Amino acid sequence: TKLRVALLFGGCSGEHEVSITSAKAIANALSIDPNPSKYEVVPIYIEKNGVWHRGTEAEAVLESGQPLTVTGEVIPSDRIPDPATVKDIDLWFPILHGPNGEDGTVQGMLTLMQVPYVGSGVLGSAVGMDKIAMKMAFSQAGIPQVRYQAVRRSQVWSNPCIFPKLCDDLDAALGYPCFVKPANLGSSVGISKVRSRQELEAALDAAATYDRRIIVEAGVEARELECAVLGNDYPKASVVGEISYNSDFYDYETKYTDGKANLMIPAPIDTAIASKVRDMAIEAFLAVDAAGLARVDFFYIEKTGEVLLNEINTLPGFTALSMYPQLWSATGISFPELVNQLIELALERHTQAA
Ligand code: ADP
Ligand code: MG
Ligand code: MG
């Protein structure tokens, strides 16, 4: 009998559309070699308002690639699966990007249900999502990063007398350009590159509309490298890829507009740099207690030869054109085989937990 795999996609996040595209690619991979006789795909769709759908609606979204439009009043129990409709699921494959899915929330529910699922658990997901917690874990592990400072929304908003002092401190500690980011988002949403005191004030205010937690980082001029990690307790790193683009930084528009960013696999860098990146990618994976998969992103400052860790993404973009599967494909693991291995890693982890 086939293993019934629930593909959980969509989600209550700004990266809803990307998730649909990722899910389509994974559903397709589950039905081609070496997988078709092993797995049966059950699409489960989470609407932007958090409402769960299984069956015809979920299949229609997967088929069309179009999100369901939100209608009607929602009650809290619509935002969890109806127990009667998930009795037959053997394994869960969450492919949700950003808050409410990549951050440990869904992973907590699946852990409570004591079912196997692909990817990191609660801790790895939560630490990997929050840029402040992530950087604290990396720094404790001795991994080099840019200089940064954590800021709370309450420092930006509710006490106007401390705001000028806060900006003075950031100004002195980090200089310009610096990057202001909401701590718990992805896809560059809410991120500003800041070149002056005035822009810093505006960017902090903007970031505070997205998150209680904000991070401000010293800006570096660097090449951007990415490395894919696969495994549980003995994770492996892929070849290294590079992203290049013409815009000011790798912002949302550059990420999702066709032709604006260019992926180079493998990255045209020295083997010594590539091997350093791969080692750091595995250290980063272990530092946050990730599992299954993660994409680890770096800044490479060519002038000095420094490699700085930027971030880890525990549920990276997984469309046919995304960096994560492309890096594995260049390393010798095809897309369908990658999906197969992720499912086996989920089963392995579940067996160990029991
Ligand atoms: P996200 O999780 O949304 O991808 P990142 O922290 O990776 O957020 O930032 C998005 C992009 O912004 C990076 O890929 C890079 O182009 C630019 N960027 C972010 N932080 C810095 C920094 N400290 N110095 C230079 N560029 C940065
Ligand atoms: Mg990210
Ligand atoms: Mg990023």
Reported residue count of the chain is: 354
Closest-lying ligand 1 atom to the alpha carbon of residue 219: 24
Residue to substitute in 310, 312, 313, 315 for testing ligand 1 pocket (most ligand atoms within 8 angstroms of CB): 310
Look at residue 354 in the predicted model and tell me its pLDDT. 61
User: Residue 72 C-alpha to ligand 3 middle, in angstroms?
Assistant: 35
- The pLDDT value recorded for residue 101 is 95
Q: Tokens 């992973």 belong to which residue?
A: 107
Angle at 136 between CA 131 and CA 141, to 5 degrees: 125
Q: Which residue out of 102, 174, 179 has the highest number of ligand 1 atoms within 8 Å of its CB and is therefore the one to mutate?
A: 179
**Do residues 110 and 350 touch, judged by C-beta distance below 8 A?**
no
The number of the ligand 1 atom at minimal distance from the alpha carbon of 146 is 23
**Residue 309 C-alpha to ligand 2 middle, in angstroms?**
12
Write down the pTM of the prediction.
0.96
Is the complex ipTM higher than 0.95?
A: yes
The pair of structure tokens assigned to 296 is: 């680890």
Over the range 229-259, which residues count as b (16 or more CB within 10 Å of their CB) and which as e? bbbeeebebbbbbbbebeeeebbeebbbeee
Peptide bond into 83 cis (omega under 30): no
pLDDT by residue, tens only, the chain of 354 residues: 899 999 999 999 989 999 999 999 999 999 887 888 899 999 999 999 999 999 899 999 999 999 998 778 999 999 999 998 899 999 999 999 999 999 999 999 999 999 999 999 999 999 999 999 999 999 999 999 999 999 999 999 977 789 999 999 999 999 999 999 999 988 889 999 999 999 999 999 999 999 999 999 999 999 999 999 999 999 999 999 999 999 999 999 999 888 899 999 999 999 999 999 999 999 999 999 999 999 999 999 999 999 999 999 999 999 999 999 999 999 999 999 999 999 999 999 999 876
Pocket test for ligand 1, best of 13, 180, 191, 313 (most atoms within 8 A of CB): 191
103, 184 contact by CB (below 8 A): yes
Cis peptide before 266 (omega within 30 of 0): yes
Type of residue found at 181? K
